[in-house]
């Protein structure tokens, strides 16, 4: 803004006005007029100047306001972008940490805070995880400037298996990103599968080895008595039967595991009566007292063939592990559940074995299990089927007194037929 000409003009008119006033005071009336006119002009000019300045100020204020608005909307956009980025980081199904090259934490997503605690800022990764491996991984990524990955088991704050990856951040050259994918379940599943394959092949190898040695004896010993000959052949047959049982149970387990049950409305009372009709003769042959109390009209949503297998397994076990006494089978309803209960007065299970009897191939008394045609898979099949139907299995047992196995299944109440 060029203020000098205005100031000069104001000064000139002020001077003229002053002179005119002086003349007027000394009696020159025309001087007074000129002075008044000059004074008026001076006032007008002053007013114009003030107005001009004001409009300029208004312009400046508007420009400032615009700039402020732009800055505010920019800030809002940055905030929105930031919270979007944060929510992406928080919704990632893994631990995400932003670390400085020194190893201190600059940012931690929600899962990281849940696992390691909320106050992570400026703590070192070593401090929060107590893992030297993780610290070394960060150091390597910082040193080579490339992504490094490693399977790492953290023992603190919990024992979990992770796939850890660390790489330099694209922006912020001093920053590194560290992600930890929890693979504990996967590792456990792999371990269980490996154990299962090892156990299954062991179970199959034993009868096959017996069959082989019996067959060799029959073949090699030319003068084998008829009685021995028959005995060996019978043994071979029983081992083949055993192999068949194992492979059938393995098939049942694999089928139950590979697909969810094909559920429909099942009359559990009818299925339970069928199971009893199959098992009662076996119990009586074993000299056991048999009683059965089936409540009619108990319906569940389920796969009937799988439910029959589950019930047969538990009743068959009761008969196989009871030397004398009785078997009581019942079906009733309780708290919106169907309860299929099998009680026996058998050998019972010592409390230290109870937590493990549902594991595959776990047997308390291996010899007895074998003698009675057990495969060690019955209870794991039972548990798998029942849980896939949204139910649970409960067992109460006292050594040398007897056991009670109860299967709880949710009742199918919604589709109850109107009679
Ligand atoms: P198995 O084919 O050996 O019977 P299961 O999986 O059916 O295998 O059962 C696992 C183990 O649980 C059995 O070996 C047995 O030791 C124990 N068990 C199961 N049911 C009973 C029962 N009713 N009474 C006593 N022990 C039982």
Ligand 1 lined by 357 (C-beta under 6 Å): yes
| Ligand 1 mean position, distance from CA 353 (Å) | 10
Q: Which mutation among 369, 373, 386, 397 tests ligand 1's pocket best, with the greatest number of atoms within 8 A of CB?
A: 369
Ligand 1 lined by 309 (C-beta under 6 Å): no
- Cα 410 off chain centre by: 25
Can you tell me the distance from the alpha carbon of 247 to that of 131, in angstroms, rounded to the nearest whole number?
45
What DSSP designation does 124 have? B
| Ligand 1 mean position, distance from CA 379 (Å) | 7
Ligand 1 lined by 378 (C-beta under 6 Å): yes
Ligand 1 lined by 318 (C-beta under 6 Å): yes
| Ligand 1 mean position, distance from CA 160 (Å) | 32
Ligand 1 lined by 349 (C-beta under 6 Å): yes
Asked whether the beta carbons of 218 and 197 are under 8 A apart, the reply is no
Q: What is the DSSP string of 25-66?
A: HTT-HHHHHHHHHHHHHHHHHHHHHHHHHHHHHHHHHHHHHH
Question: What are 86's two structure tokens?
Answer: 């944060």
Residue 215, SS3?
A: helix
**What number does the ligand 1 atom closest to the CA of 346 have?**
24
**CB neighbour list of residue 124: distance below 8 Å, 6 or more residues apart:** 102, 103, 104, 105, 135
Asked whether the beta carbons of 2 and 49 are under 8 A apart, the reply is no
Question: What are 348's two structure tokens?
Answer: 């019972």
- Residue 419, judged by CB atoms within 10 A of its CB (0-12, 13-18, 19+), counts as exposed
**N residues, the chain:** 419
**What number does the ligand 1 atom closest to the CA of 375 have?**
2
Q: Which mutation among 346, 354, 363 tests ligand 1's pocket best, with the greatest number of atoms within 8 A of CB?
A: 363
Question: Tens place of pLDDT for every residue, the chain, 419 residues?
Answer: 455 666 676 677 667 766 766 766 676 567 667 767 777 777 788 888 888 988 999 999 999 999 999 999 999 999 999 899 889 999 999 999 999 988 899 999 999 999 999 989 999 999 999 999 999 999 999 999 999 999 999 999 999 999 999 999 987 668 999 999 999 999 999 998 899 999 999 999 999 999 999 999 998 887 888 898 899 999 999 999 999 999 999 999 998 888 889 999 999 999 999 999 999 999 999 999 999 999 999 999 999 999 999 999 999 999 999 999 999 999 999 999 999 999 999 999 999 999 999 999 999 998 899 888 899 999 999 999 999 999 999 999 999 999 999 999 999 976 555 44
Can you tell me the distance from the alpha carbon of 35 to that of 149, in angstroms, rounded to the nearest whole number?
93
**CB neighbour list of residue 317: distance below 8 Å, 6 or more residues apart:** 378, 379, 405
Question: What are 255's two structure tokens?
Answer: 């089928």
Residue nearest to atom 3 of ligand 1 (CA): 376
Instruction: Give how far Cα 23 sits from Cα of 13, 15, 26, 41, 126, Å.
Output: 15, 12, 5, 18, 95
Please, what are the domains in the chain? 3-86 (no CATH), 93-182 (3.30.450.20), 186-259 (1.10.287.130), 260-419 (3.30.565.10)
Prediction pTM value? 0.68
Can you tell me the distance from the alpha carbon of 179 to that of 182, in angstroms, rounded to the nearest whole number?
10
């Amino acid at each position: 803004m060029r203020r000098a000409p205005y100031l000069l003009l104001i000064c000139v008119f002020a001077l003229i006005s002053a002179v005119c006033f002086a003349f007027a005071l000394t009696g020159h009336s025309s001087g007074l007029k000129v002075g008044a006119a000059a004074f008026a002009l001076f006032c007008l000019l002053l007013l114009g100047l003030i107005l001009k300045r004001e409009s300029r100020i208004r312009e400046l204020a508007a420009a400032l306001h615009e700039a402020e608005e732009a800055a505010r909307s920019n800030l809002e956009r940055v905030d929105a972008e930031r919270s979007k980025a944060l929510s992406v980081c928080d919704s990632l199904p893994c631990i995400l940490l932003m670390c400085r090259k020194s190893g201190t934490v600059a940012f931690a997503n929600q899962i990281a805070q849940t696992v390691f605690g909320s106050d992570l800022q400026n703590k070192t990764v070593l401090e929060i995880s107590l893992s030297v491996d993780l610290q070394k991984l960060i150091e390597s990524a910082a040193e080579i400037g490339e992504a490094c990955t490693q399977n790492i088991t953290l023992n603190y704050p919990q024992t979990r298996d992770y796939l850890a990856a660390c790489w330099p951040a694209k922006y912020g050259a001093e920053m590194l990103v560290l992600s930890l994918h929890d693979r504990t379940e996967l590792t456990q599943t792999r371990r269980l599968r490996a154990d299962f394959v090892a156990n299954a092949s062991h179970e199959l190898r034993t009868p096959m080895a017996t069959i082989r040695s019996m067959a060799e004896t029959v073949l090699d010993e030319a003068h084998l008595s008829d009685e021995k000959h028959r005995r060996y052949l019978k043994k071979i047959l029983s081992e083949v039967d055993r192999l068949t049982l194992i492979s059938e149970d393995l098939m049942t387990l694999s089928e139950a595991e590979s697909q969810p049950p094909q559920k429909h409305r099942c009359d559990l009372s009818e299925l339970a009566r069928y199971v009893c009709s199959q098992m009662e003769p076996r119990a009586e042959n074993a000299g056991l007292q048999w009683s059965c109390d089936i409540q009619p009209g108990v319906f569940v949503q389920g796969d009937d063939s799988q439910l029959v297998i589950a019930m047969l397994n538990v009743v068959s076990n009761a008969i196989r592990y009871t030397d004398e006494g009785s078997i009581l089978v019942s079906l009733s309803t309780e708290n919106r559940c169907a309860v299929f209960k099998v009680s026996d007065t058998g050998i019972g299970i010592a409390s230290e074995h109870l937590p493990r009897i549902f594991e595959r191939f776990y047997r308390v008394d291996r010899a007895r299990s074998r003698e009675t045609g057990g495969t060690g898979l019955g209870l794991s099949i039972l548990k798998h089927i029942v849980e896939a139907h949204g139910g649970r299995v409960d067992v109460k047992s006292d050594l040398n007194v007897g056991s009670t196995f109860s299967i709880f299944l949710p009742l199918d109440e919604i589709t109850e037929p109107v009679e």
